[in-house]
Amino acid sequence: MASEYPTKVSIKLLIDQESSKVIVAEAGSDIVDILRSLLKFPLGNIARLLGKHQCLQRAVHARSSKCEGEN
């Protein structure tokens, strides 16, 4: 059952301003566990679960298309 109280998470990022890329990310173990569990899902399942968020679907599709073109 979901908690009635909002949960705050803290993530510290070191970003290269020129390339707009993350150099280092620091987060608590709870966030790391969530990210690790998401990596276990196939991308198709993630896209289906996020079906209501069209912008996220486009981002996942664009990234997977870019990776396929690099092979």
Supply the pLDDT for residue 29. 84
29-53: pLDDT as tens digits: 888 888 888 788 777 777 677 776 6
Tokens of 38: 């998401």
Supply the pLDDT for residue 70. 45
Residues 13 and 22: beta-carbon distance below 8 Å: yes
Q: Is the pLDDT of residue 18 over 80?
A: yes
Tell me what the mean pLDDT of segment 54-68 comes to.
Answer: 61
Supply the pLDDT for residue 66. 54
The 3-state secondary structure of 25-37, one letter per residue: EEECHHHHHHHHH
Supply the pLDDT for residue 14. 94
